[in-house]
Amino acid sequence: MRFRVCKVDSAVQSICMTERAPFVVDDCDLPGLQSAVSKLAGFGYSEKAVRERLGVDDLAGLPWRATPIYRAERLASGDPLACAIDLFLLQGALRPGDLQTMFSPSECDLLIRAGLLAISPTGLARARASLFPVGDRLIFSDHAWPELPHPGSYPVPADHVMAVGLDSRHLARCTTRRPFRTALDVCTGSGIHGLLASSHTERVVAVDINPRAAACTLFNAGVLGIPNVETVVGDLFEAVNGERYDLITANPPFVPSPLDSLRFRDGGRSGEDIQKRIVAGLPRHLAPGGRAQIVTELGEREGEPLVNRLRAWLDGAPLDIHILRLGEHTAEKYAVGHAQGEDYSAYLESVDAWAANLRAHAYTRVVSLVISFEWSDPQFGPPWDRVDEAPPPRRDAGAEIDAIFEAERLVRRAGLPEMFQHSWVERAGPIAVLDAYLLGGAIDAKAKATLLGQALTMEYFLDVAEREILGRLDTRVAVPELIRSLKQFDEAMVIEALRSLLRQRLVRIGQ
């Protein structure tokens, strides 16, 4: 594990505030700290167990306003898991007796010495950092709600390390987990994506312009016992000297903000200042056969496909692009959701400033996305792009995004019609088909199909030929036989319908 510093703006090299974890630990204390965190895992402090204990479908976007309800209804038993959730996730305060259900006095001393725990003069214990369960990993970072009004609270400083929130979890669940030789995580923050990549990658480089974020990543790597993560302080790709990587991940600041006040969040007035530089740098840093994945938000304009902007940033580089739309907000709701103010008048002024900034860029909505890039292969034609829409996944979906890239290449094979002549076709799995007329649609109705059992729930509207094909695939059928049975359609129409169903992963073929 290595830590090096590149030349950065001196404005970001601020000293850690005493109210927050310094994310530094002595080598002699590291084994004890690893043991204490493992102890929390032994209590059941994992994403699945915490989610079930709080009675929520997903830890992403956990609302702080609901913390009193969680404490009263879900954590009142005061068992070790309840105490761990309250202390390290809900930012609560524990009495000495509650703290002792988790840690021995020597472990408490170690956590205090490591800067993770603070004890008030009245004996109440508070965490100086949050511990976020991500799958079976535990990731330290700054609190999700640093502005909460409790003793020791503080305004969000420039070197704040972003908590593991919605976007972090979305990218973690969409990242491909196939084996790689090298991985690069830019805007690494707590290091979550680099640390997750370390399990299937030989060497990981995690980069952040914020020295405190780099220190947090190094701290997490040490606590988790991960040896193959190199932490670098620097400005995006400038920190890696032109190296190429098999996997590149990024969760950049992307909010189109009129204030540009939170360095870990705001991407300039357009929201594109940093993500544009990341996309533009991919052709120089993505290795052949590699994958780059970015979680972001983009302001959307009427009549302008988002992919046009990405192609312009790539400056003609031949990369295939998959855009996964996970949600959207109207410009009005986005402005209201981000506005702040100490009183009603100040809040309304803030709403106006946010709304005016979005109007200035002609954004009618802001879309949440995970965007995946791979080098295009000329044997499958020119670079392609594809847009899918799905609710945010609640479990790993990286393999499904892998399958989308494979499906796009399959349907672009020059010899696909000839291959059909020697192939069979079958449904890819259980498929739900809903006729539009059941919902009051027109008589000339369409139907939409969904492949069940997937992490990404995507709906696809079927044309008549596609619907007929799916209806005949109760068992595996030879493609020539299928074509002969569909006498109402010419062969070219059937082949095109099969191509479309393959692209949507509703059917599969074999020989």
What are the sequence ranges of the domains in the chain? 22-133, 166-330+367-411, 416-510
Predicted confidence (pLDDT) per residue in 43-95, tens digit: 999 999 999 999 998 888 788 889 999 999 999 999 999 999 999 999 999 99
Cα 13–Cα 15–Cα 21 angle in degrees, nearest 5: 120
What's the pLDDT at 155? Answer: 65
Q: Is the dihedral of CA 21, 23, 27, 33 positive or negative?
A: positive
Sequence-separated (6 or more) residues with CB below 8 Å from residue 497: 463, 465, 466, 469, 489
Q: How many residues does the chain have?
A: 511
pLDDT < 70 regions, the chain? 1-18, 147-155, 436-445
pLDDT value for 16: 33
CA nearest neighbour of 24 among 107, 116, 103, 146: 116
Structure token pair of residue 56: 């929520």
Q: Each residue of 122-149: b (16+ CB within 10 Å) or e?
A: eebbbbbbbbbbbbebbbbbbbbbbeee
pLDDT (tens digit per residue) in 249-287: 999 998 888 987 777 888 889 989 999 999 999 999 999
Residue 95: both structure tokens together: 């009495």
Within 8 A by CB and 6+ apart from 220, the residues are: 139, 140, 190, 191, 195, 226
Beta bridge partners of 247: 183, 291
Positive or negative torsion for Cα 338, 157, 279, 412: negative
333: left (phi over 0), alpha (psi -120 to 50) or beta: alpha
Buried b (16+ CB within 10 A) or exposed e, 295-324: bbbbbbeeeeebbebbbebbeebebbbbbb
> Structure tokens of 195?
């640390």
pLDDT of residue 266: 82
**Which CATH number, 1.10.3720.10, 3.40.50.1980, 3.20.20.120, 3.40.50.150, labels domain 166-330+367-411?**
3.40.50.150
Backbone dihedral region for residue 327 (phi beyond 0: left; psi -120 to 50: alpha; all else: beta): left
Distance CA 67, CA 157 (A): 24
Q: What is the per-residue pLDDT for 437?
A: 55
Distance from C-alpha of 303 to C-alpha of 292, rounded to nearest angstrom: 27
The pTM of this model reads 0.91
